[in-house]
Homo-oligomer: A and B are copies of this chain.
């Protein structure tokens, strides 16, 4: 069960309105790796957690924090939309065509749909979808998803940081960057702990290795001509799981012959077999 307090985790007040930037900032609120994604991903992983209590608690600690990040970004976006010159545009635009053009860069739904409010959408208006998230019940897998989300998320915030010169906006982004630093470190630590406990780095660790086709478990196939990829750590030496050695296969060949599918039965009305 949840409780809310009205205070924000961190300040979310720009120095001045900027509807164009409001549109861009939507990416880290409602985009693929925005705050809604991490909030929903961690909460669902936490609610569904069948493992040790400390993992559930960790997921719900961070997932609950992310709701507050959604709140901060929504608040910042609403304020960036203050005083957008929409209603009196004719006058303003007549005397200032460049302004008209710049305003053309704002998201029209911020005026028409949300009434100068933040939207659960990304920077081009795609609505948030649960296609973005995962909770599989396997925590190494899921924490790798989480680490990915925090990595992509921090990257996007860093890019957005350099797209504004508003010190107050940058201040809030600096807070989010730091929290993403924390969360990347935490998921890395949690993954390491789980890998050590399970004794393997290949997910799922509990599927018996002898059931897989082990002859190809460490091959790198050179399907793209040129052997540059043979020069990486991934193509030679012991594999990170400690159970095999990478092998670079310069000229990969197929293991099976060419397939021939049966005709479909007549009631399917596919193309009929042709008479000769």
23 examples of A-B residue contacts, CB within 8 angstroms: A2-B3, A3-B64, A23-B108, A24-B108, A47-B117, A51-B263, A54-B231, A57-B228, A65-B221, A87-B267, A97-B99, A98-B98, A113-B134, A114-B135, A116-B264, A119-B130, A136-B156, A145-B148, A154-B203, A161-B211, A177-B213, A178-B217, A206-B272
Residues from chain B with a CB closer than 8 A to the CB of A20 are: 104
Partner of A64, one of B4, B190, B203: B4
A162 to B208 alpha-carbon distance, docked (Å): 12
A50 to B192 alpha-carbon distance, docked (Å): 30
Contact indicator per residue, chain A 135-155, by CB within 8 Å of chain B (1) or not (0): 111111100110110011011
Known: A51-B273, A83-B265. 13 other contacts (CB 8 A): A4-B63, A5-B224, A57-B228, A61-B220, A62-B221, A82-B262, A86-B163, A115-B269, A137-B270, A152-B203, A159-B267, A193-B233, A198-B272
- By the criterion CB–CB under 8 Å, are A137 and B274 in contact? no
Total interface residues in chain A, CB < 8 Å: 198
A1 to B155 alpha-carbon distance, docked (Å): 24
- By the criterion CB–CB under 8 Å, are A44 and B117 in contact? yes
- By the criterion CB–CB under 8 Å, are A113 and B27 in contact? yes
* Contact (A148, B137) CB under 8 Å given A78-B47, A221-B61: no
Residues from chain B with a CB closer than 8 A to the CB of A178 are: 212-217
A15 in contact (CB, < 8 A): no
Residues from chain B with a CB closer than 8 A to the CB of A47 are: 70-71, 74-75, 78, 117-118
